[in-house]
Amino acid sequence: NAGVTQTPKFRVLKTGQSMTLLCAQDMNHEYMYWYRQDPGMGLRLIHYSVGEGTTAKGEVPDGYNVSRLKKQNFLLGLESAAPSQTSVYFCASSYWGQGKYFGPGTRLTVT
Amino acid sequence: GQQLNQSPQSMFIQEGEDVSMNCTSSSIFNTWLWYKQDPGEGPVLLIALYKAGELTSNGRLTAQFGITRKDSFLNISASIPSDVGIYFCAGQGGSEKLVFGKGTKLTVNP
């Protein structure tokens, strides 16, 4: 099992550009999440999904969109990147009420 | 919103020493989780606690779910250099959302 994988590992964007981050899990988990991690802020939930075709807002959803067309994939989109979105993005998945398994992260810089 | 207070913020210890860190909250949680994050990596789940009062071990690591459901602690015994990293607590209430502490950075001197 690969667990949770994320693509790409690194990305540099100019302000106003768009991009999509891909998360894939092979554990048949129902729940998937996108977090961002900033220095001194810990991990903050952006959006999450409780099953294929569902999405919900987390703590810091503004400026991001998500889609869960297939159970194993959860996409995070930035339509118009801003410098405030420079961060490390982590995807996670789990069964309900169980510990979450995290991917290796995507380091995004917006200039 | 819900917040977790994790302490200490950082620790510098000698190899072989025991370590203790804790998290407290003003809210009740149904689940407490402890993660470790190495530089450049994602958090890795160390221990999951699902019942108030539960004490669970994973090798040299021991964690407890506080009886009030508002706190948890993690102990590491006989620390070794590979224990270095950032340790996060996380609490989960009635929804699927996790609340994370801000982390404890552990440095182990050989």
3-state secondary structure chain A: CCCEEEECCEEEECCCCCEEEEEEECCCCCEEEEEEEECCCEEEEEEEECCCCCCEECCCCCCEEEECCCCCEEEEEECCCCHHHCEEEEEEEECCCCCCEECCCEEEEEC
Structure confidence at residue A28 (pLDDT): 94
Structure confidence at residue B2 (pLDDT): 65
Quote the CA–CA distance of A45 and B29 in Å, as a whole number.
17
The answer to whether A63 and A46 are in contact (CB under 8 A) is no
pLDDT exceeds 90 at position A111? yes
Indicate left, alpha or beta for A97 from its phi (over 0: left) and psi (-120 to 50: alpha).
Answer: left
| pLDDT average, residue stretch A39-65 | 92
If you ran DSSP here, which 8-state letter would residue B40 be given? Answer: T
Q: How far is B55 from chain A (nearest CA, A)?
A: 16
At B50-106, the pLDDT tens digits run: 999 999 999 999 999 999 999 999 999 999 999 999 999 999 887 777 889 999 999
State whether residue B105 is helix, strand or coil. strand
| pLDDT average, residue stretch A103-109 | 96
Q: Search chain B and give the residue with CA nearest A9.
A: B40
Structure confidence at residue A95 (pLDDT): 87
| pLDDT average, residue stretch A46-59 | 94
At B32-53, the pLDDT tens digits run: 999 999 988 999 999 999 999 9
By the CB < 8 Å criterion, does A41 face chain B? yes
Percentage, residues of chain A above pLDDT 70: 98
Q: How far, CA to CA in Å, does B101 sit from each of A56, A94, B7, B71?
A: 22, 19, 9, 11
Q: Search chain A and give the residue with CA nearest B88.
A: A42
Cα Rg of chain A, angstroms: 13
Kindly state the tokens that stand for B54: 């539960």
Structure confidence at residue A1 (pLDDT): 66
Cα Rg of chain B, angstroms: 13
The answer to whether B14 and B29 are in contact (CB under 8 A) is no
Mutation to test the B interface, candidates A4, A41, A43, most B Cβ within 10 Å: A43
Structure confidence at residue B1 (pLDDT): 58
Structure confidence at residue B59 (pLDDT): 96
pLDDT exceeds 90 at position A96? no
Task: With CB atoms and an 8 Å threshold, state whether A59 touches B97.
Answer: yes
Q: How far is B65 from chain A (nearest CA, A)?
A: 14
pLDDT exceeds 70 at position B25? yes
pLDDT band for A91, please (50, 70, 90 cuts): very high
What mean pLDDT value characterizes chain A?
Answer: 93
pLDDT exceeds 70 at position A66? yes
Structure confidence at residue B95 (pLDDT): 73
Q: What is the dihedral of CA A53, A59, A65, A66, to 10 degrees?
A: -30
pLDDT exceeds 80 at position A35? yes
Quote the CA–CA distance of A46 and A90 in Å, as a whole number.
10
At A76-87, the pLDDT tens digits run: 999 999 999 999
